[in-house]
Chains A and B, each alone.
Chain A
């Protein structure tokens, strides 16, 4: 049976009605409707999911939002209060006496550790992607690429374990002291010039996060580089550009938006990373990192480490506060994404043509 016969039997075309053809026609129509509805649902579901999650967290966190107020964003104390003592009712909300939550160290820790991770991971990932697509012979690049994709799927608890048992002590003993000794005592850089601690802290967290997100960004960037038309790269080569210049002025700008997107993907993982950070951050509540080696914590790590304990607060205020923290994390993620879109929009105009070449 050919499509032509089916078309001839369709209502718009006068022709001999064929039963099997009209049945098929109806099936096709039903299929089309199903397809449209299905894709509509698929398109709407993520938004509904996000809205639902944020709504639930906002409702759960509402008592905490009321009581904690702006202190939540500026304060540094993380005081669950006297859970075995009396209950007080600020703003009509039951809280243990003395409870006072300030999430500033968590918010700053989240941003700092993710920023360090991104600063380290993006250049490394781009370098690795260049090596995999252009520098290494195919016999090495293929297994290496496979290894990168495998790395992207390693559970974070392994990174955490490795960080606490191997990397942290190694950095504290052999690396941090050297960095600290060469850093001058001037603003910004003196953040690096201080007691280097014991390997659990902000810098180690940033490094482990970087190691975790490098495979994600690299794998995506490799795919992007493969999409760059060779015609344009040849054009640069034919003009007498070096390989580095070709990469720098054609390959990378061509997929700049994609690289930003891949970096945001990595950043999202870094922002939300929980277990590894809980293990290697030094997990300090109550104050921000005094220097880059200091113990710290993040929103996600705090939520997971404090959740069980929050259940011992019979007023439910501790749990509400964790919900508020989760809401803040969600907002940070959304803000980061919006900023990324904005950057893409601003710089994207000179990038490679989408869907061409």
Chain B
């Protein structure tokens, strides 16, 4: 089915943190993303919606090159971060991932103490001295509202925490390396409603100092946390619009059907 984005001109390149240009991604024979061109606005929260298998997660993972290691990976087109290609050899992959952080579908703490989890990235990027680690850990845990719950067991394993607490820990860990962009891949799909609400309000508070891109199946969540939304369908960008516009006045027939719950 041939679909075309209704709007790619929502953000000027100068106002965009990440830009995709004719981005095509495939694994082996299968083409997952087809010719995506889009500018993701700086300081915005952008939601990626669409049916399962529409390519939104692959698009998200293209932005910090997490697809590179998947077997059969191939790519055409370009992605730029602040105008600089993320694929050139001049781009330090590790630095890219520091600037473009990620939170996953399920919590994925490391097998180390809660404190070490928070400062793991700080350590790897040598962003602070060892004696500052405690303060950093406390600050980030406080930021995500987890400090009081774990302050007595900072040296203990994170695997004793609840799933929601683990996800908050992963968020604190991602924030500790001071990213410019945060990619969230259905970050609340495994969480209870209360924690989901908390994560949503945290995300809302990150913007505009951090640009947020969030993949979600929860249309309510997309409406609550984002101000711009990309609608993916079958590997193509069906529509890119302000969240309000896309949900109240979808331009594309597929968007219209999806937001009314007729597809996916």
Contacts and interface: CB of A to CB of B under 8 A. Distances in A.
B97 A232 contact: no
A240 B159 contact: no
Interface stretch (A43-51, A98-106, A245-253, A268-276): A245-253
A262 to B, nearest CB: 17
A42 interface: no
Interface in A231-265: 231-232, 234-242, 245, 249-250, 253-254, 256
Contacts of A23: none
B111 A240 contact: no
Contacts of A237: 66, 69, 97
Interface in A206-238: 229, 231-232, 234-238
Contacts of B170: 235
Given A232-B111, A240-B93, 6 more contacts: A234-B66, A235-B108, A238-B64, A238-B104, A249-B112, A250-B110
A234 B108 contact: yes
Contact of B124 (A234, A235, A239, A352): A239
B157 A239 contact: no
Which of A237, A239, A349: most chain B Cβ within 10 A? A239
B125 A240 contact: yes
A353 B170 CA distance: 16
Nearest to A354: B159
Interface string A166-189: 000000000000000000000000
Interface in B189-248: none
A240 B124 contact: yes
A350 interface: yes
5 contacts: A232-B111, A238-B64, A240-B121, A242-B94, A351-B157
Given A236-B110, A238-B64, A253-B110, A349 B125 contact: no
Interface of B: 64, 66, 69, 93-98, 101-102, 104-106, 108-113, 120-121, 124-125, 156-157, 159, 170, 173-174, 177
Contact of B177 (A234, A239, A249): A239
B111 A239 contact: no
B155 to A, nearest CB: 9
A253 B111 contact: yes
Contact of B121 (A229, A232, A241): A241
A345 interface: no
Contacts of B110: 232, 235-236, 249-250, 253
A229 B177 CA distance: 23
Given A239-B173, A240-B95, A240-B124, A351 B111 contact: yes
Nearest to A352: B111
Which of A231, A235, A245: most chain B Cβ within 10 A? A235
Contacts of A232: 108-111
Given A352-B159, A353-B159, A238 B111 contact: no
B54 to A, nearest CB: 21
Nearest to B183: A238
B104 A235 contact: yes
A346 interface: no
B179 to A, nearest CB: 9
Nearest to A238: B102
A91 interface: no
A206 B142 CA distance: 52
Nearest to B106: A231
A234 B104 contact: yes
A103 to B, nearest CB: 42
- 7 smallest beta-carbon distances between A and B, as pairs: A240-B97, A235-B108, A238-B102, A253-B111, A239-B121, A353-B159, A240-B98
Given A231-B106, A231-B108, A253-B112, A238 B120 contact: no
Given A229-B108, A231-B106, A240-B97, A350 B66 contact: no
A256 B113 CA distance: 14
Contacts of B157: 349-351
Nearest to A242: B94
A238 B66 contact: yes
B108 A241 contact: no
Contacts of B105: 231
B95 A239 contact: no
Contacts of A353: 159
A240 B177 contact: yes
A238 B179 CA distance: 11
A275 to B, nearest CB: 40
B26 to A, nearest CB: 20
A350 B64 contact: no
B82 to A, nearest CB: 17
Contacts of A236: 110, 120
B120 A350 contact: no
A351 B160 CA distance: 11
B101 A241 contact: no
Contacts of A231: 104-106, 108
